[in-house]
Amino acid sequence: MDVKANKIEDAAAYAIPLDLTKHMITSIGLQGQFSLVCEKYNIFTDTFYNLIKGYLQTVIPPETGYQIWSPEDIFGYIRLQRQLTRETLEEEREEEQEREHIEESALFCIADKYSKYEKVKSIYVQKYRAEIQFHVLLGITEYDDDLMEDLLDTEYDIRKEFDYLSFTFLYPPVAFVDRKDIVHPEARCIFSR
């Protein structure tokens, strides 16, 4: 076993015997026999085939082929892949955090817009799939068409302003509401008076 492999945590990396390299290079040109080589050295065929194929396609120019092949190259390639994977995961995490931050800002902005209506008693929000679902609870005992016109104007403005997010809105009437009463674990109150 190559001692360099011990420095690499990746399970796919530590099983490359130095004397295998020649076989591997030969096998790239003879893909049908590659599994036999892997079997001989007790290596997962798919893992190594993909690694070496990727290495040859991305690191070694086609015209040079196996001539510059070395164990260092393949380990370098594995390290590069691991680094890229780490960076991708980090980017995804940052994007997720950014998305959450944007959503939170939007929620407070939306709560602020509805809070100007005295009849709005509280606003609950929950996520479902890619939707942010709002329940704007109204303290009224009889349908109020003028209020509904105003609320829908506000809703339209919100949907246009935050068009990169997806919403649904409902305006149920309530006699009384206590913000602590949340049965749905993902529903939360973002406004209450």
Partner 1 sequence: MADYPIHIAQAEHNEEAAQKLAFEPPYHDWGITAAFYSAIHYFESWLFYEGERHTETSIPPDEEGKLKYTAHGWREKIIVNKLTRVGFKAFRKLRDSSETARYLSLSRLGTKSIEWLDRPASQYFKPQHAQKMVEKDLQTLKKELKIDLSKLLHSLKLQNKTPNALLIIQQILSRFHSKESFLNASLNNLKRFMSEETLSLLRNQLEQSKESVKWK
Residue closer to partner 1 by CB (options 90, 131) is 131
Q: Which of 167, 184, 166, 182 is nearest to 122 (CA)?
A: 182
- Site map for partner 1, 28-47, x if CB under 8 A? --------------------
Report d(CA 177, CA 193) in Å as an integer: 9
3-class DSSP state of 171: coil
Report d(CA 138, CA 147) in Å as an integer: 10
Q: Confirm if 138 and 152 have CB atoms less than 8 A apart.
A: no
Q: Which of 153, 101, 162 is nearest to 131 (CA)?
A: 162
- Site map for partner 1, 86-125, x if CB under 8 A? --------------------------------------x-
The answer to whether residue 141 forms part of the interface with partner 1 (CB under 8 A) is yes
Residue closer to partner 1 by CB (options 73, 103) is 103
Binding residues for partner 1 (CB under 8 A): 124, 128-131, 135, 137, 141-143, 145, 148-149, 152-153, 155-156, 159-160, 163, 166-178, 180-184, 187
